[in-house]
Each structure stands twice: as C-alpha cells, then as structure tokens.
Amino acid sequence: MESVYLLIPVSVILVFGIAIAFWWSVRSGQFDDLEGPGFRVLMDEDQPKPLDDTKEATKRDNV
C-alpha cells in the first residue's frame, strides 16, 4: 500500500511531462509536414544535371 503513495504522484508527473513534450512538439512545427521527408528520401539527385545549349556549343567550338 505504501508503494501506491509513491507511484501515483510519479505517474501524474510523468503524464504532465509527456503532455508538455507533446505540446512543445506541436507548437514548434514537428507535425507540419508528415509526407515530405518520406518523399525526399525517394528523390534521386545523384544524376548530373544536363548542360545548357550555350555551354555545349562552346565545348564543340573549342574541340
């Protein structure tokens, strides 16, 4: 029975701590974009960008 006197205040403090952490994460924008990071992982940016026409023309003229 004595352990209940300790566990109830500890659990109340834990609930308030979790609620404050959740409130902070919502206010700081942690849940604004849920799909963006998943799509960013799938984007393939390893391919080199194509040269524009002016750079290609100068390469051909110099050869």
Given a cut of 70, whether residue 50 has pLDDT beyond it is no
Given a cut of 90, whether residue 12 has pLDDT beyond it is yes
Q: Give the Cα separation of 31 and 44 in Å (integer).
A: 25
Q: How many residues does the chain have?
A: 63
More confident call, 6 vs 51: 6
Give pLDDT tens digits for 23-39.
Answer: 999 999 888 887 887 78
| Per-residue tokens: 27 | 């206010």
